[in-house]
Amino acid sequence: MSNATVAEQLVQVLRQAGVARVYGVVGDSLNPFVDAIRRTEGIEWIHVRNEEAGAFAAAAEAQLTGRLAVCAGSCGPGNTHLIQGLYDAQRKGVPVLAIASHIPSVQVGTGFFQETHPERVFVECSSYCELVSQVGQMPRVARIAAQHALGASGVSVLVISGDVLHRTAAQPTSSSYVSRPQGTIVPAREQVEALAERVNAATTVTLFCGAGVEGAHAEVMELAGKLHSPIGHSLRGKEWIQYDNPYDVGMSGLLGYGACYEATQDADLLMLIGTDFPYDAFLPGTRTVQIDHDVTRLGRRTPLELGVHGDVRTTLREVLPLVGQKSDRTFLDRMLRKHAQALERVVEAYTRDVEQHLPIHPEYATRLLDEVASDDAVFTVDTGMNNVWAARYLTPNGRRRVIGSFLHGSMANALPHAIGTQLAYPGRQVISMSGDGGLGMLLGELLTLATRQLPVKVVVFNNGALGMIKLEMMVDGLPDYQTDNGNVDYAAIAQAAGLHGVRIEQPGDIRTGLTEALAHPGPALIDLVTDPHALSMPPHITAAQVKGFALAAGKTVLDGGVGKMIELARANVRNIPRPTIAR
Ligand SMILES: Cc1ncc(C[n+]2csc(CCOP(=O)(O)OP(=O)(O)O)c2C)c(N)n1
Ligand SMILES: [Mg+2]
């Protein structure tokens, strides 16, 4: 008989699952758990200033490492704060376990101080959410929660009262293997053959890639080489597929650019590869096949001729030997040229006078950030205009990572995502591309950076406004209302909080300011005073296209520059083989 407490058992199970830290804010009902962490080797408590940040930090850690990450909140408000970050984790399908401590068990149902019902509250943002009311449920239920988060790639929540955490366990903890998904999903042979048949029969094929192409760059290139296919991507697919890609035609969606839309619309067959791209108005709606490791996603965005259930890499390896080499590359070459032309047009508009332009062009600042950041930097990106700058100006290379709240779409994600990233990768350069609105929302997390001396670099795109919404209102024909954040000196705030802080107002100071701040050994904030009116709008834009990132009906929604991508596009056009003249 072990005399461990339930809280100690929970911590032991977390250790066995490889968990090294728990993000949260301490509080009465959590005390036995936090105290058990204090006394356990190999696991530490990360004191954030808002539990929401703890959940975002765990989401980033889980996304980047693929391992279980944990956050916690005390009863009532302590754990309702977790919701935003848990939605982020659940939507992006990453393994996070949240410990939601609860009011004293004898008080449940009495309207007690801080009473909520976490087992109801968290249902929608989790795939496993259970109340632990008996000591005998431990340690098994903790193992189930960990395994469920890993296995279902999502959030598990354990709700447990402080008095239950405090009690003596009913049985020893012992050990049990916690397994991360490592198998592959091999598609059925008939599906592979049917896919090859369709691809071979099509005159032209476009590949549209999402985050599921991670690890399958070589296979996608080989397929595109055989089919002479243009390759487009979603925002989440960009970091895995755009680099070293002679078939690149850009990105689709509200932040899209280049010839991706044309390539997806005009192809004889569209192949969706590892993407759950939600903007169905950008898809042709016909002649589509799809590969996904999650069978429930097949056909949920557009009607399919064929849906193939399998991992992208495994599926492509199976199908490649059955795919014949196409000879006609006219369609690909036309799309590559269209793509380069589309980029040339915006590059011209966005590179003129930017060295002098006041306030600073955010596009120009991101271009310089892209140049001075290290080759394996992790960029965390706030929801808002920063999504646009990151999509257009950060150059993926297969080693860098760019993460954000790309599915839940919450503001204020970048700084807490950076906290989780830096803790998981202490030696790596971590850059938070924060909006001033986003930073203001979780400003207290600068204190987390300062107290832990986490060397995150916070680059604030300080346009003094909720810029994305300003744009939406303009597009909607509404007067600009309540979008001002005021002129705040975030560098001064950072300095007062104990960070290296620098404010940059002149475009000529950006490169040196960024380079120096990135080289600073501790946490640093770079307050870039940027133009709130950045981004030109194409004339044909409609309200529905921008509103809430949700509705879309056209091919180019936001115009804007494209940074170094133009170089890839130009090179790809240069490399189009010249026709050989028969003698
Ligand atoms: C939590 C939350 N609240 C509101 C929104 C709606 N929203 C999306 S972007 C945005 C403005 C972001 O402003 P800022 O961080 O300053 O970035 P900017 O667009 O100015 O670059 C708002 C209010 C949201 N996505 N999430
Ligand atoms: Mg702003």
Residue 520 and residue 500 in contact, taking contact as beta carbons nearer than 8 Å: yes
CA 505 to chain centre: 29
- Give the residue whose CA is nearest to atom 6 of ligand 1: 411
The DSSP element (H or E) to which 207 belongs, if any, is strand 205-209
Q: Is 175 exposed, middle or buried (0-12, 13-18, 19+ CB in 10 A)?
A: exposed
Query: Which of 131, 206, 124 is CA-nearest to residue 161?
Result: 131
pLDDT (tens digit per residue) in 186-202: 999 999 999 999 999 99
What's the first-to-final CA gap in the chain, in angstroms? 90
Query: Which of 142, 92, 144, 4 is CA-nearest to residue 420?
Result: 92
Residue 528 and residue 462 in contact, taking contact as beta carbons nearer than 8 Å: yes
Q: What is the share, in percent, of the chain residues with pLDDT greater than 70?
A: 92
Count other Cβ atoms within 10 Å, centred on residue 349.
11
- Give the residue whose CA is nearest to atom 17 of ligand 1: 435
Residues 6+ positions from 376 with CB-CB distance below 8 Å: 399, 400, 428, 429
Mean pLDDT value of segment 313-337: 98
User: Taking the C-alpha atoms of 208, 277, 460 and 239 in order, what is their torsion angle to the nearest 10 degrees?
Assistant: -30
The DSSP element (H or E) to which 471 belongs, if any, is helix 467-476
**How far is Cα 341 from Cα 338, in angstroms, rounded to an integer?**
5
Q: What backbone torsions phi and psi does residue 100 show, to the nearest 5 degrees?
A: -105, 105
Residue 362 alpha carbon, nearest atom of ligand 1: 21
**How far is Cα 346 from Cα 337, in angstroms, rounded to an integer?**
15
pLDDT at 352: 67
**How far is Cα 209 from Cα 276, in angstroms, rounded to an integer?**
9
Ligand 1 pocket (Cβ < 6 Å) reads: 382-386, 409-411, 435-438, 461, 463, 465-469
Mean pLDDT value of segment 465-479: 85
**How far is Cα 339 from Cα 262, in angstroms, rounded to an integer?**
9
Mean pLDDT value of segment 357-364: 90
- In three-state secondary structure terms, 552 is coil
- In three-state secondary structure terms, 351 is helix
Q: What backbone torsions phi and psi does residue 577 show, to the nearest 5 degrees?
A: -65, 140
Residue 262 and residue 250 in contact, taking contact as beta carbons nearer than 8 Å: no
| Candidate from 101-110, 151-160, 341-350, 572-581 with smallest mean pLDDT | 572-581
Q: Please say if the pLDDT value at position 219 is more than 60.
A: yes
Say how many Å lie between the CA of residue 182 and the centre of ligand 2. 41
Say how many Å lie between the CA of residue 229 and the centre of ligand 2. 39
Residue 20 and residue 45 in contact, taking contact as beta carbons nearer than 8 Å: no
Beta strands in 391-508 (DSSP E): 401-404, 430-435, 457-462, 500-504
pLDDT at 299: 98
Q: How confident is the model at residue 516 (pLDDT cuts 50, 70, 90)?
A: very high
Say how many Å lie between the CA of residue 279 and the centre of ligand 1. 20
Q: Is pLDDT larger for residue 252 or for residue 369?
A: 369
Question: Which of 393, 411, 442 is the pocket-test mutation for ligand 1 (most atoms within 8 Å of CB)?
Answer: 411
Say how many Å lie between the CA of residue 49 and the centre of ligand 2. 22
Question: Which of 86, 469, 484 is the pocket-test mutation for ligand 1 (most atoms within 8 Å of CB)?
Answer: 469
274: tokens are: 């590892």
Q: Which position has the token pair 């004191």?
A: 47
Ligand that lies nearest to the alpha carbon of residue 83, given by its number in the listed order: 1
Mean pLDDT value of segment 538-556: 41
Q: How confident is the model at residue 179 (pLDDT cuts 50, 70, 90)?
A: confident
**How far is Cα 575 from Cα 316, in angstroms, rounded to an integer?**
25
Q: How confident is the model at residue 552 (pLDDT cuts 50, 70, 90)?
A: very low
Say how many Å lie between the CA of residue 465 and the centre of ligand 2. 4
| Candidate from 115-129, 255-269, 407-421 with smallest mean pLDDT | 255-269
- Give the residue whose CA is nearest to atom 18 of ligand 1: 467
Q: Please say if the pLDDT value at position 473 is more than 60.
A: yes
pLDDT at 2: 52
Q: Which position has the token pair 């487009």?
A: 232
The DSSP element (H or E) to which 513 belongs, if any, is helix 510-519
**How far is Cα 102 from Cα 363, in angstroms, rounded to an integer?**
47
Sheet of 96-102, strand order: 44-47, 21-24, 69-73, 96-102, 155-161, 128-132
Count other Cβ atoms within 10 Å, centred on residue 309.
19
Say how many Å lie between the CA of residue 199 and the centre of ligand 2. 45
Say how many Å lie between the CA of residue 441 and the centre of ligand 1. 10
pLDDT at 104: 98
Residue 282 and residue 253 in contact, taking contact as beta carbons nearer than 8 Å: yes
Q: Which position has the token pair 């002479």?
A: 228
Mean pLDDT value of segment 286-315: 97
60: tokens are: 């980033």
19: tokens are: 């968990």
Q: Please say if the pLDDT value at position 372 is more than 70.
A: yes
pLDDT at 571: 74
- Give the residue whose CA is nearest to atom 3 of ligand 1: 411
**How far is Cα 230 from Cα 332, in angstroms, rounded to an integer?**
5
Q: How confident is the model at residue 83 (pLDDT cuts 50, 70, 90)?
A: very high
Q: How confident is the model at residue 509 (pLDDT cuts 50, 70, 90)?
A: very high
Question: Which of 382, 461, 466 is the pocket-test mutation for ligand 1 (most atoms within 8 Å of CB)?
Answer: 466
Residue 178 and residue 147 in contact, taking contact as beta carbons nearer than 8 Å: yes
- Give the residue whose CA is nearest to atom 21 of ligand 1: 385
**How far is Cα 131 from Cα 473, in angstroms, rounded to an integer?**
44
Q: Name the percent of the chain in helix, strand, coil, to the closest 5.
A: 45, 15, 40
pLDDT (tens digit per residue) in 418-431: 999 999 999 999 99
Say how many Å lie between the CA of residue 553 and the centre of ligand 1. 22
**How far is Cα 305 from Cα 198, in angstroms, rounded to an integer?**
9
Query: Which of 514, 449, 525 is CA-nearest to residue 488?
Result: 525
